[in-house]
């Protein structure tokens, strides 16, 4: 049995007198990959931050790292290496126990944190204008890696995450899966003894997610690295973890083998009733030969969207599916008027008038944009504004506080919250919510503006299966009660099967097939399908 690396004892965390973690205790042995599963709001991300030593201290309890500290320099290793020589200066490694949240251990805390790394969900944290190799070189520079060896080390790390063919690409031009692999290379540059991966593949298509999972596992083995992985998805825990914890309402509901913990988690699933297909109305969006080309120094002309034609009807839930890099997000941003196409037309029905989104001006794109809502895959909330302020600021109008609160609660219910929960979170800050809850607040930010057409870019990327059902019914409710129309951009085939009336399948910037959901899903390759 490996030595314990982290010991967690009686850990509690409260926000505004609401306890989000309650007397959590467990140990992580050296080199273990521990999976933490649970639905949105269970406390997974809060636990992850406390284990890493970031944000606020716990209300109660301790997180103790069992390390070996060099008696000459700042290097630290796992405690099983105590008595050996420091690989950096040749000093002796001495066994120490560091309580991460004890104020007296501040100096040691920073030394421990230098040997840990974290990958946040939905946050790529890259230098967008720099090339891939420059991003990794920045990470090496942060740890003062010898400059004469840095380029070779960066190239090795990029090769380790199988991205050598993108080494000279600008980071912002990468797909979501490629960006996440650059993040992994940057974290591995720190040579961490422990990597915290918070929903690392929640927004990636299944094939890319499996690739990132295998890279994380390989990195753990190659670097003698422990790992804590949070997820809403049982497959992620099955693929990666040696052992698992089920969190429910801030407490450990089960701990043990991934199979046994997943079975406990699955007891919370319930199949909801089948929904009838809505009667759609007249056509409200007509795209004709829409094209978007980029000029890249490395790749020449890139056809992100290539002569795309489709229609969307009022009250329809229209899905755009495909792997990461297929062109889905670019197309969604053209529809919403965020970016201009290179060619073609994007006509939207506003009132009785057809407006071409490709034409600038207050009578064209400016007029239509007001009625189109877009929830970005990489959304953001104002961190120092309450949920209520985040929502009412989105409206852009001065309205009485009582009316604002009422409108906010109604909209939060549309986004998947119960009325009780919606009222409870109005005065909370985004940092006091789980990542899944923040995502639903971001969805509410879009819906509160009362758009005619809502574009959802990977709406379920970080949601557990139960919350997905809540959001599914919220979308259907908005469609039925408010005549709302949705375009859902996703690689989550189960979700689009449940909710979409029609699908468009994209590959390489082109739409290969449009039709009823089941008909198009039958043409999806195994690589594009969800597990």
Domain boundaries, the chain: 123-191
| 22 vs 12: CA distance, rounded Å | 5
CA angle 503, 461, 13 (to 5 degrees): 155
Which residues, 6+ apart, have CB-to-CB distance to 216 below 8 Å?
Answer: 184, 195, 197, 200, 227, 229, 240
Q: In the chain, what is the greatest distance between 2 CA atoms, to the nearest angstrom?
A: 79
Q: Which tokens sit at 8?
A: 């967690």
Contact 41, 434 (CB under 8 A): yes
Q: Would you state the pLDDT for residue 228?
A: 94
Q: How many CB atoms lie within 10 A of CB 406?
A: 12
| 244 vs 228: CA distance, rounded Å | 9
Q: Which tokens sit at 369?
A: 């944009």
List of the chain residues with pLDDT < 70:
1, 121-125, 202-206, 268-278, 296-299, 377-378, 396-398, 435, 461-463, 481-482, 526-531
Per DSSP, helices labelled H in 130-225 are 132-142, 147-160, 176-188, 206-222
| 266 vs 286: CA distance, rounded Å | 42
Contact 324, 175 (CB under 8 A): yes
| 213 vs 354: CA distance, rounded Å | 46
Per DSSP, helices labelled H in 275-430 are 328-335, 365-369, 387-395, 401-414, 419-425
Q: Would you state the pLDDT for residue 12?
A: 94
| 185 vs 189: CA distance, rounded Å | 6
Query: CA–CA distance from 302 to each of 342, 365, 509 (Å)?
Result: 12, 25, 9
Per DSSP, helices labelled H in 299-372 are 328-335, 365-369
CA angle 473, 479, 481 (to 5 degrees): 95
Spell out the long-range contacts of 325-330 with Cβ–Cβ below 8 A and sequence spacing 24 or more: 325/175, 325/177, 325/178, 326/506, 326/507, 326/508, 326/509, 327/292, 327/506, 327/508, 327/509, 327/510, 328/457, 328/489, 328/490, 328/506, 329/176, 329/377, 329/457, 329/489, 330/292, 330/304, 330/305, 330/509
Task: List, for residues 453-494, the tens digit of each pLDDT value.
Answer: 999 988 876 667 777 777 787 788 778 766 789 999 988 888
Q: Would you state the pLDDT for residue 125?
A: 66
Residues facing residue 305 across a β-bridge: 292
Spell out the long-range contacts of 236-239 with Cβ–Cβ below 8 A and sequence spacing 24 or more: 236/35, 236/201, 236/209, 237/35, 237/37, 237/261, 237/262, 238/262, 239/210, 239/213
Contact 295, 519 (CB under 8 A): no
Q: Which tokens sit at 314?
A: 């009022």
Q: Which tokens sit at 25?
A: 């205790």
Is the dihedral angle over the CA atoms 478, 482, 483, 488 positive or is it negative?
A: negative
Q: Checking DSSP bridges between strand 4-15 and strand 502-507, what pairing results, if any?
A: unpaired
| 27 vs 29: CA distance, rounded Å | 6
Please list, residue by residue across 217-252, b when 16 or more beta carbons sit within 10 angstroms of its beta carbon and e when fewer do: bebbeeeebbbbbbbbbbbbbbbbbebbbbbbebeb
Three-state secondary structure call for residue 71: coil
CB-based burial label for 397 (10 Å; 0-12, 13-18, 19+): exposed
Q: Angle, nearest 10°, between helix axes 387-395 and 401-414?
A: 100
| 18 vs 157: CA distance, rounded Å | 42
Q: Would you state the pLDDT for residue 528?
A: 62
Q: Would you state the pLDDT for residue 270?
A: 46
Q: Would you state the pLDDT for residue 79?
A: 92
């Amino acid at each position: 049995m490996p030595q314990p690396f982290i010991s967690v004892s009686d850990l509690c965390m409260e926000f505004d007198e609401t306890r989000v973690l309650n007397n959590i205790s467990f140990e992580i042995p050296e080199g273990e990959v521990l999976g933490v599963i649970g639905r949105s709001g269970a406390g997974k991300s809060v636990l992850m931050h406390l284990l890493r030593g970031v944000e606020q201290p716990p209300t109660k309890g301790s997180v103790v790292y069992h390390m070996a500290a060099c008696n000459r320099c700042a290097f630290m290793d796992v405690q099983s290496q105590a008595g050996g020589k420091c690989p950096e200066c040749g000093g002796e490694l001495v066994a120490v126990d560091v309580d991460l949240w004890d104020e007296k251990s501040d100096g040691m805390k920073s030394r421990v944190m230098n040997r840990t790394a974290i990958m946040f969900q939905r946050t790529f944290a890259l230098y967008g204008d720099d090339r891939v190799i420059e991003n990794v070189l920045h990470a090496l520079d942060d740890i003062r890696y010898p400059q004469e060896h840095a380029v070779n080390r960066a190239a090795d790390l990029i090769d380790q995450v199988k991205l050598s063919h993108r080494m000279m690409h600008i980071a912002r031009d990468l797909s979501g899966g490629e960006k996440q692999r650059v993040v992994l290379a940057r974290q591995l540059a720190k040579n961490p003894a422990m990597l915290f991966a918070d929903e690392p593949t929640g927004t990636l298509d299944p094939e890319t997610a499996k690739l990132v999972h295998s890279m994380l596992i390989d990195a753990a083995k190659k670097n003698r690295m422990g790992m804590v992985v949070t997820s809403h998805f049982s497959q992620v825990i099955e693929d990666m973890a040696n052992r698992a914890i089920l969190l429910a309402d801030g407490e450990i509901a089960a701990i043990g083998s991934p199979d046994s913990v997943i079975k406990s988690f699955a007891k919370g699933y319930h199949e909801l009733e089948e929904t009838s297909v809505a009667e759609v109305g007249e056509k409200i969006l007509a795209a004709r030969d829409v094209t978007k080309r980029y000029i890249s120094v490395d790749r020449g002309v890139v056809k992100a969207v290539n002569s795309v034609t489709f229609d969307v009807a009022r009250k329809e839930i229209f899905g755009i599916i495909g792997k990461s890099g297929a062109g889905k997000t670019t197309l969604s941003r053209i529809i919403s008027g965020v970016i201009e196409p290179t060619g073609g037309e994007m006509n939207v029905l506003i009132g009785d008038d057809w407006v071409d989104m490709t034409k600038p001006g207050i009578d064209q794109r400016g007029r239509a944009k007001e009625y189109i809502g877009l929830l970005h895959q990489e959304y953001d909330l104002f961190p120092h504004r309450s949920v209520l302020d985040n929502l009412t600021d989105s409206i852009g109008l001065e309205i009485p506080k009582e009316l604002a609160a009422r409108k906010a609660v109604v909209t939060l219910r549309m986004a998947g919250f119960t009325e009780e929960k919606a009222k409870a979170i109005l005065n909370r800050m985004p940092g006091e919510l789980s990542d899944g809850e923040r995502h639903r607040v971001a969805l509410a930010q879009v819906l509160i503006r009362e758009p005619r057409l809502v574009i959802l870019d990977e709406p379920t990327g970080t949601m557990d299966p139960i919350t997905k059902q809540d959001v599914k019914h919220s979308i259907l409710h908005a469609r039925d009660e408010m005549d709302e129309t949705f375009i859902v951009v996703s690689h989550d085939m189960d979700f689009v099967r449940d909710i979409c009336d029609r699908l468009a399948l994209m590959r390489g910037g082109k739409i290969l097939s449009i039709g009823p959901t089941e008909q198009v899903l039958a043409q999806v390759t195994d690589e594009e399908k969800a597990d």
